[in-house]
């Protein structure tokens, strides 16, 4: 009789080949986490650059996330429910900011909203300036981060069963009611995951912000820009800011890994409780 080996044993050679890549991904995080003592990190956090950059990043990224959720969700729903050649072109336009270098996005935004740009004369007529303001930071974050949410949201909406929407319509729901009462709750884990990716991308945005909004402390200097500036004078502040961004990334990663399973368990418990309530007792 031929003895069958456990599948995990057969994968050991593959794991040994993959180990260098894993080490390369993990070692930089270990290095940044162990680069400074708690005292040095505390000195970095107390640097004048730290608090304004952290507060500006928090404000602008949350606002840009709200803009993406409000404007991106209808677009994601349309992408999920449409078909044909025009869909491919719209998807291409949505995905383009992911593959474009951030510096190109920054220059494109300048050529759109700058004084000599496409909309520059119109904005100047209303005495309204966007480049090198906090609004420019938000616009840069929206453009580079929106595709991550729209892609995830469209994929989540595509997984919603059409029959459920038809049943909701036959029960008297309007198209908007079917969307908010059926499609949105079912797609919520995917929407949350996309929103987390979108926020993380906005939080780490550097190139487009630097070229379109500048690096003005308290106005346009977000955390990545503060890290860039701090490296020239105080490495401890750069490490403190980097650790904050890394901690946020880790928390978001855990949320992305565990939120969908938690939501599924919660839905099952709610459905089971509703069934017990109707029947008077569990079967």
Higher pLDDT, 159 or 267: 159
Question: Do the domain assignments include residue 272?
Answer: no
C-beta separation of 94 from 151 below 8 A: yes
Residue 248 CA to residue 134 CA, distance in Å, equals 22
Would you state the pLDDT for residue 100?
Answer: 93
C-beta separation of 55 from 48 below 8 A: no
Question: Do the domain assignments include residue 197?
Answer: yes
For residue 279, name the pLDDT band (cuts at 50, 70, 90). low
Would you state the pLDDT for residue 99?
Answer: 92
Would you state the pLDDT for residue 206?
Answer: 93
Would you state the pLDDT for residue 283?
Answer: 43
Higher pLDDT, 27 or 234: 27
Higher pLDDT, 153 or 171: 153
Would you state the pLDDT for residue 233?
Answer: 79
* Mean pLDDT in residue range 175-180: 88
Average model confidence (pLDDT) for the chain? Answer: 84
Higher pLDDT, 263 or 114: 114
* Mean pLDDT in residue range 217-244: 86
Measure CA 261 to chain center: 19
Question: Do the domain assignments include residue 49?
Answer: no
* Mean pLDDT in residue range 114-120: 88
Which string of DSSP letters, residue by residue, matches the chain?
-PPPPPHHHHTHHHHHHHHHHHHHHHHHHHHHHSSS-HHHHHHHHTSTTHHHHHHHHHHHHHHHHHHHHHHHHHHHHHHHH--SHHHHHHHHHHHHHHHS-HHHHHHHHHHHHSTTSTTHHHHHHTT---TTSHHHHHHHHHHHHHHHHHHHHHHHHHTS-HHHHHHHHHTT--HHHHIIIIIHHHHHHHHHHHHHHHHHHHHT--HHHHHHT---TTTT--HHHHHHHHTTT-HHHHHHHHHHHHHHHHHHHHHHHHHHHHHHHHHHHHHHHHHHHHHSS--
Would you state the pLDDT for residue 263?
Answer: 57
Nearest to 140 by CA among 207, 40, 233: 207
For residue 238, name the pLDDT band (cuts at 50, 70, 90). confident
Question: Do the domain assignments include residue 4?
Answer: no
Question: Do the domain assignments include residue 3?
Answer: no
Buried residues in 82-102 as b, exposed as e (16+ CB within 10 A): eeeeeeeeebeebeebeeeeb
Question: Do the domain assignments include residue 276?
Answer: no
Residue 94 CA to residue 194 CA, distance in Å, equals 14
User: Residue 237 belongs to what domain range?
Assistant: 65-261
User: Cβ-count burial of 198 within 10 angstroms (0-12 exposed, 13-18 middle, 19+ buried)?
Assistant: buried
Nearest to 102 by CA among 239, 267, 225: 225
For residue 257, name the pLDDT band (cuts at 50, 70, 90). low
Would you state the pLDDT for residue 142?
Answer: 97
Would you state the pLDDT for residue 5?
Answer: 56
Domain CATH number, residue 253:
1.10.3720.10
Range in 51-55, 238-242, 258-262, 268-272 with the lowest mean pLDDT: 268-272
The tens digit of pLDDT for each residue in 30-85 reads 888 887 777 777 777 788 888 899 899 999 999 999 999 999 999 999 999 888 77
Tokens of 91: 């998807």
Residue 208 CA to residue 222 CA, distance in Å, equals 12
Would you state the pLDDT for residue 1?
Answer: 46
Question: Do the domain assignments include residue 58?
Answer: no
Question: Do the domain assignments include residue 239?
Answer: yes
For residue 244, name the pLDDT band (cuts at 50, 70, 90). confident
User: Cβ-count burial of 68 within 10 angstroms (0-12 exposed, 13-18 middle, 19+ buried)?
Assistant: buried
Would you state the pLDDT for residue 260?
Answer: 59
Tell whether the model's pLDDT for residue 125 goes beyond 50.
yes
Would you state the pLDDT for residue 274?
Answer: 42
Number of other CB atoms surrounding residue 155 within 10 Å: 16
Tokens of 10: 């057969």
Number of domains in the chain: 1
Tell whether the model's pLDDT for residue 115 goes beyond 60.
yes
Tell whether the model's pLDDT for residue 112 goes beyond 50.
yes
């Amino acid at each position: 009789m031929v003895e069958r080996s456990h599948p995990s044993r057969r994968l050991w050679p593959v794991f040994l080949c993959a180990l260098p890549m894993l080490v390369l991904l993990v070692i930089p995080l270990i290095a940044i986490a162990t680069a400074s003592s708690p005292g040095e990190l505390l000195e970095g956090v107390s640097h004048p650059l730290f608090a304004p950059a952290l507060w500006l990043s928090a404000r602008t990224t949350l606002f840009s996330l709200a803009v993406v959720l409000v404007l991106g969700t209808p677009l994601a729903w349309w992408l999920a429910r449409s078909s044909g050649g025009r869909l491919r072109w719209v998807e291409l336009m949505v995905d383009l900011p992911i593959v474009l270098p951030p510096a190109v996005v920054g220059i494109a935004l300048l050529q759109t909203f700058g004084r000599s740009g496409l909309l520059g004369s119109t904005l100047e007529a209303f005495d309204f300036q966007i480049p090198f303001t906090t609004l420019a930071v938000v616009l840069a974050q929206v453009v580079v981060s929106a595709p991550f949410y729209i892609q995830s949201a469209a994929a989540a909406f595509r997984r919603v069963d059409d029959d459920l929407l038809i049943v909701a319509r036959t029960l008297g729901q309007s198209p908007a009611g079917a969307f908010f009462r059926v499609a949105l709750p079912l797609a919520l884990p995917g929407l949350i995951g996309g929103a987390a990716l979108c926020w993380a991308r906005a939080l780490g945005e550097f190139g487009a912000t630097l070229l379109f909004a500048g690096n003005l402390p308290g106005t346009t200097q977000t955390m990545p820009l503060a890290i860039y500036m701090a490296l020239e004078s105080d490495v401890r502040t750069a490490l403190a800011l980097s650790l904050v961004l890394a901690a946020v990334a880790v928390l978001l990663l855990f949320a992305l890994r565990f939120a969908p399973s938690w939501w599924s368990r919660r839905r099952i418990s709610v459905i089971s409780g509703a069934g017990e309530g109707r029947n008077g007792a569990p079967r």
